[in-house]
Chain A
């Protein structure tokens, strides 16, 4: 009997509390996310409760030869002719992308931590998932570094890259490879020859090295949700512009070849473009 009395008392208290709230609903704060650039913006919220959630981006790296998609499934096929008319196959393609930054018109920017070693033979590496919050809105450009820039290209610094044998020899200035592109090509006698188009720091002479990374700038876009951003590499460009690459002159032993390294850098300026944005 006492229990019932207690229960009634508690119920009464609860109801009276509820009535109090009603009285003051016009002045009490409404908690929620108050940031219009978040995914869960609550226009009725008066007080921010730290619940805002923002889009995350996934970068998807795809490769093509003047528009024809290239995956590891096509490795070994002599399907491509470079600008110089040399027919070639692809057997390996690994390259490094770092320091991805999304820029706003007003000068603000969002930097995505880390780097991504893309290896066509491992599909997991073709997607780079980021956990950085990206507010909704317009972005004026996307920039990244092909390879590592001077600040990041630190010899033996990254244990995962060391474990993947990605280092650039210290004899050539150290740091890391930017790209390893390998395959075969057919020479003027019809014989199959190898090529190893490896890019990294350029050695001028013993002890004198030049940074050789590429700063890439792509157009901006509007973020309306979680998004997958496609970054396309047109492999044909490596052989095309401004230097018409001649494999019969430069196909192997290119790492220590200063001229080859600089031409790779020049030709690499236009290999990347912005692809589809899915959100």
Chain B
């Protein structure tokens, strides 16, 4: 009997000492957050996709937001994610190409960041080379033409601060920072960047006064296969993401210096293909195209109307190439532009929850 009691006490001590040794996380209680689903998404789309190993929590989102604006992630402490993804510009860089910490300049426009939890393809970057937002966020820190850091160095820098170890403990139950946890936190914040309440959304939800006659005609041009034929790749009133999140060659060039998706897949049929961006928030997200070649929506519309050029992998939906495209009337072009701008949501760019907390 005595031996049994001793063994039992021994076990109890072990259990107690185990929990003691976990001091970091003994008060690790996170607050789950439900993603806010815009009504129009709720009505029409599949539920947002959140990885089961990275659920949204208040602590994780707050940490991710802080890290998104954290310049310590870069090699010389001068650049954050937000340096090239500006909230007031729907998280794109208004500069055609972003300049990294060394002064090196890229060859693509930074991508907008919103509604990523509805990117069911879950491929990121213009060429789709990263899987998952967590995977995407690994890239820029070490990219020599962007933040030009190493992850070991970035993690060590954060670890040496007075505040970050505690914030990671609160969000993830450990004060030991890793690149995986950094990108998990950033991904949580990015999943909260949701834009689904433009004037056009209000129109679809029943407010018929939300649009002008010009905007409604522009929508019809967008939906007309013999006019804009935009809806096959850029969503519609039924797919309010306003993108298919897949990759197309939209007739920009006859040959490619940047082959896009083809570099990732190795398939020549994918050369010149880049991801369709969402058409939400175009009012804030110039310049346009993967390489930011167009400064205005007029230039974009003119491209599809009379500027298409042939290349071997051009999407079959790019038609009448001999004449340069759909040859829209000036009135239709103007209405189409008006419609496109009705997909912009001013409140998305001014939402205080999305701006710098530091």
Contacts and interface: CB of A to CB of B under 8 A. Distances in A.
14 contacts: A92-B316, A159-B44, A162-B44, A162-B45, A162-B239, A167-B236, A169-B225, A182-B317, A184-B316, A194-B316, A194-B319, A194-B321, A196-B317, A196-B319
Contacts of B241: 163
A167 B232 CA distance: 9
A-B pairs with lowest CB-CB distance, top 6: A194-B316, A167-B238, A182-B316, A253-B226, A252-B319, A169-B223
A67 to B, nearest CB: 25
B231 A256 contact: no
Given A163-B45, A165-B239, A167-B239, A75 B269 contact: yes
A264 B158 CA distance: 62
Given A165-B231, A256-B225, A256-B226, A156 B238 contact: yes
B236 A165 contact: yes
A171 interface: yes
Interface in A237-275: 252-256
Contacts of B314: 194
Interface string A43-75: 000000000000000000000000000000001
Interface of A: 75-76, 91-92, 155-156, 159-160, 162-165, 167, 169-171, 180, 182-184, 191-192, 194-196, 198, 252-256
B23 interface: no
B256 interface: no
Contact of B318 (A75, A183, A194): A194
Contact of A76 (B232, B269, B318): B269
Nearest to B204: A156
Given A91-B269, A169-B223, A192-B310, 15 more contacts: A155-B238, A162-B44, A162-B45, A163-B118, A163-B120, A164-B239, A165-B232, A170-B237, A171-B223, A180-B232, A194-B318, A196-B225, A252-B320, A253-B226, A254-B225
A191 B314 CA distance: 14
A148 to B, nearest CB: 14
A60 B220 CA distance: 38
A178 to B, nearest CB: 15
B224 A160 contact: no
Contacts of A155: 238
A279 to B, nearest CB: 34
Contacts of B146: none
Given A75-B269, A76-B269, A165 B46 contact: no
Contacts of A163: 45-46, 118, 120, 239, 241
B316 A253 contact: no
A194 to B, nearest CB: 4
A253 B225 contact: yes
A155 B237 CA distance: 11
A255 B225 contact: yes
A255 B231 CA distance: 13
A121 to B, nearest CB: 9
B235 interface: yes
Contacts of B237: 156, 170
Contacts of A160: 46
B244 interface: yes
Nearest to A255: B225
Contacts of B232: 165, 180
Contacts of A156: 43-44, 237-238
Nearest to A195: B316
Nearest to A253: B226
A159 B224 contact: no
Contacts of A253: 225-226, 319
A35 B322 CA distance: 67
A119 to B, nearest CB: 11
Interface in B301-358: 310, 314-322
B116 to A, nearest CB: 14
B236 to A, nearest CB: 6
Contacts of A91: 269, 316
Contacts of B43: 156
Interface string B267-283: 00100000000000000
Contact of A162 (B224, B238, B320): B238
Nearest to A182: B316
B316 A171 contact: no
Nearest to B219: A171
Nearest to B118: A163
A21 B231 CA distance: 73
Nearest to B316: A194
